[in-house]
A and B are shown apart, each in its own frame.
Chain A
């Protein structure tokens, strides 16, 4: 058991850094970049926690993780206890510990942030979850079962979080997943080097142990309508994700070699095209690859392109570095891996050769004007600044639209003008009394942790509603 430090001592210490794969090596493989804390490192980091009462970090956590409690148990080397503490509220700790933007959530609310060194809550959560997985710790199904049945559409973070909470309360939960593997964006979107698929599989298996049934290859909207689910189940939670890539609508976008980030990442992550021809799905990456966009998905795509053999992998983004929506950590990882950035640059058209393959991208330089409705300074093209980049691939990572398949089979569930479900922010209630919705199909493309939060809120509201019946 490690000692409890006095506050003055806690302030003196720095955040324990996380060891990671050397950038020169990691651009040649798809293995995870950070190695994770050792037990000693985790304890040293846990010792810095002030154990605030009330804890502001928890308010910053949509998964409502009992942060000070689990951290305190790490100091006692009671990692199993820490794991159980986390699992009380969060079914996906190994996932969240890796992909949450902690700087905007728990760590952004940490009192130690004032000293510039917030507790590395995400790394600690990851450590605990990995420790438990390595030892095969499993969840126990609830003893009491309720007779009510809940259908969930989509097995991404929102659907899984909702399923786990309802299953723990004893509900009979069934998830319908369109793809052949459960996990949604966790398996098709986020690359192996950021979130190993075996880890997702493990956390999904734990949720199955709670009694949750998952039907894969089951596209609601085609094989069954939401209306039918409403007939068959006591409640329905729609968590099917945004699910339709945006394109730029510029000339040349349908040339061979142009991908949406969704296609590029799905080929590599879900279909394991990086392991072609061991796996059958092909992917074509040339010497020079441009990724358009400045978000986390753009960073995932450009780093994937580098690993797939691109000599130059370049981000083209229309605003400046300060406006990039990607996490600072992702941008830093990309820079360390030699990713180039063409900032204040906007694509105008894709140029092709006589066989219909991409050969270039015409861009225009931009400058920043007045702030727009998003609060960010609006990019304005600089006239006459057009230039052509020789490129072999263009990957478009500019966001998502609402996929209409589920919505058009859901009578009485209203959508907004963009096709997203209208749902109450606190409860996930839609305009249909038996239907809840949450995650990207309500908010538009957002983060894993916000989807987890939406799933938990919906679970609570479904429980309240079904308890009153």
Chain B
């Protein structure tokens, strides 16, 4: 179980893996996530599902190397087994046939989790406009799959190396300035700062926006409360009440502060691991 069937390196720090997990693939719905542990000593790492195949029995994860656990994961190879792989977790995205267009915004590796939601929405007959953005064209991922899952795709890069130059929230605002009356729903997934900016942009046009939150988690099943977020003035557990929430109600500043909780310890763990493994 949980064998790495396929591993691809998409950029210096972005990897994709297909993990053998037949039952998870069968149950997975758009917007849900998994938690994995690399090896026995590992921590529980939540990752949103990028794709899955019931026939072939795999779940795709896409991750960026940011700390020890993701670095260790990136160094595991095809054929190796993960110590633990559990899912699907969290509530599925609430999808339906919306009256107008639906905008899907993916920033950085946040492009991966919008893929299954966009695909599902398109299957249901929605007109899906995907706005995908990255720092630079080398970091732009899954463009082909997003094309397939969308009716229209707008690409943006911070440095203008591909598509429009600028942040996705600016592209969103430009789009809404022309098309606001035809847009009935927006999803935005990416770093909290990007989701916050998109929420502000959507708010200017009074458009509902769903965001997928990625706070620190431990069990991921509502048991510990590590992932608590403030939504509409109430404490929610992102793992079981979310991960998706109405962006307009989310306290993004608190989310960002909570994500920084262990930065020094995480840095220390990364340095020790690099020294031990002889990684520059």
A266-308 residues with Cβ-Cβ distance < 8 A to B are 266-267, 271-272, 276-282, 284
Do B225 and A263 have beta carbons less than 8 Å apart? yes
Do A218 and B86 have beta carbons less than 8 Å apart? yes
Given contacts A263-B224, A280-B69, contact A222 B27 (CB under 8 A): yes
A-B contact pairs, 11 of them (CB 8 A): A180-B44, A219-B86, A222-B32, A222-B88, A244-B225, A254-B254, A259-B226, A262-B224, A276-B265, A282-B43, A404-B240
Residues of chain A within 8 A of B84, CB atoms compared: 180, 216-217
Do A256 and B224 have beta carbons less than 8 Å apart? no
Residues of chain B within 8 A of A262, CB atoms compared: 223-225
B83 within 8 A of A: yes
Cβ-closest chain A residue relative to B224: A263
Interface of B is mostly: mixed
Do B268 and A217 have beta carbons less than 8 Å apart? no
Q: Apart from A219-B87, A222-B89, A356-B257, what 19 extra A-B contacts exist at CB < 8 Å?
A: A178-B219, A180-B37, A217-B84, A219-B89, A223-B24, A244-B225, A245-B224, A247-B235, A259-B226, A263-B225, A266-B218, A271-B218, A277-B269, A280-B42, A280-B69, A281-B43, A403-B221, A403-B223, A405-B240
Number of interface residues of B (CB under 8 A): 43
Size bin of chain A's contact surface: 35 or more
Minimum C-beta distance from B14 to chain A (A): 21
Instruction: Give which listed residue, B23, B223, B240, B272, contacts A223 with CB less than 8 A.
Output: B23
Residues of chain A within 8 A of B24, CB atoms compared: 223
Cβ-closest chain B residue relative to A265: B224
Cβ-closest chain A residue relative to B259: A256
B57-107 residues with Cβ-Cβ distance < 8 A to A are 68-69, 83-89
- In angstroms, Cα B229 to Cα A253, docked, is 11
Instruction: Give which listed residue, B228, B230, B268, contacts A277 with CB less than 8 A.
Output: B268
A163-208 residues with Cβ-Cβ distance < 8 A to B are 178-180, 188
Do A224 and B27 have beta carbons less than 8 Å apart? yes
Minimum C-beta distance from A289 to chain B (A): 16
Do A243 and B223 have beta carbons less than 8 Å apart? yes
B158 within 8 A of A: no
Residues of chain B within 8 A of A260, CB atoms compared: 224-226
Leading 10 A-B pairs by shortest Cβ distance: A356-B257, A263-B224, A180-B84, A217-B86, A282-B265, A280-B43, A281-B43, A260-B225, A282-B262, A256-B261
Minimum C-beta distance from B82 to chain A (A): 10
User: What 0/1 pattern do residues 374 to 412 of A give for CB contact below 8 A with B?
Assistant: 000000000000000000000000000001110000000
Do A178 and B221 have beta carbons less than 8 Å apart? yes
Do B223 and A355 have beta carbons less than 8 Å apart? no
Residues of chain B within 8 A of A243, CB atoms compared: 221-223
B178 within 8 A of A: no
Do A245 and B219 have beta carbons less than 8 Å apart? no
Minimum C-beta distance from B41 to chain A (A): 5
| B residues neighboring A (CB under 8 Å) | 23-24, 27, 32, 37, 41-44, 68-69, 83-89, 218-219, 221-226, 228-230, 235, 237, 240, 254, 257-258, 260-262, 265-266, 268-269, 272
Instruction: Give which listed residue, A179, A254, A403, contacts B222 with CB less than 8 A.
Output: A403
Cβ-closest chain A residue relative to B273: A277
| A residues neighboring B (CB under 8 Å) | 178-180, 188, 216-219, 222-224, 243-245, 247, 249, 253-254, 256, 259-260, 262-263, 266-267, 271-272, 276-282, 284, 355-356, 403-405
- In angstroms, Cα B122 to Cα A191, docked, is 49
Instruction: Give which listed residue, A180, A219, A356, A404, contacts B254 with CB less than 8 A.
Output: A356
Given contacts A277-B272, A284-B265, A356-B254, contact A254 B87 (CB under 8 A): no
Residues of chain B within 8 A of A405, CB atoms compared: 221-222, 240
Do A263 and B226 have beta carbons less than 8 Å apart? yes
Minimum C-beta distance from B267 to chain A (A): 11
- In angstroms, Cα B170 to Cα A203, docked, is 59
Cβ-closest chain B residue relative to A217: B86
- In angstroms, Cα B221 to Cα A216, docked, is 14
Instruction: Give which listed residue, A179, A254, A259, contacts B219 with CB less than 8 A.
Output: A179
Do A254 and B230 have beta carbons less than 8 Å apart? yes
Cβ-closest chain A residue relative to B29: A222
Cβ-closest chain A residue relative to B268: A277
- In angstroms, Cα B42 to Cα A271, docked, is 8
- In angstroms, Cα B257 to Cα A265, docked, is 22
Minimum C-beta distance from A325 to chain B (A): 21
Do A280 and B224 have beta carbons less than 8 Å apart? no
Cβ-closest chain B residue relative to A263: B224
Residues of chain A within 8 A of B42, CB atoms compared: 279-280
- In angstroms, Cα B144 to Cα A454, docked, is 55
- In angstroms, Cα B252 to Cα A356, docked, is 13
Given contacts A254-B228, A256-B257, contact A280 B223 (CB under 8 A): no
Cβ-closest chain A residue relative to B88: A222
- In angstroms, Cα B43 to Cα A279, docked, is 7
Residues of chain A within 8 A of B230, CB atoms compared: 254
A216, A217, A218, A281: residue with the most chain B Cβ atoms closer than 10 Å: A217
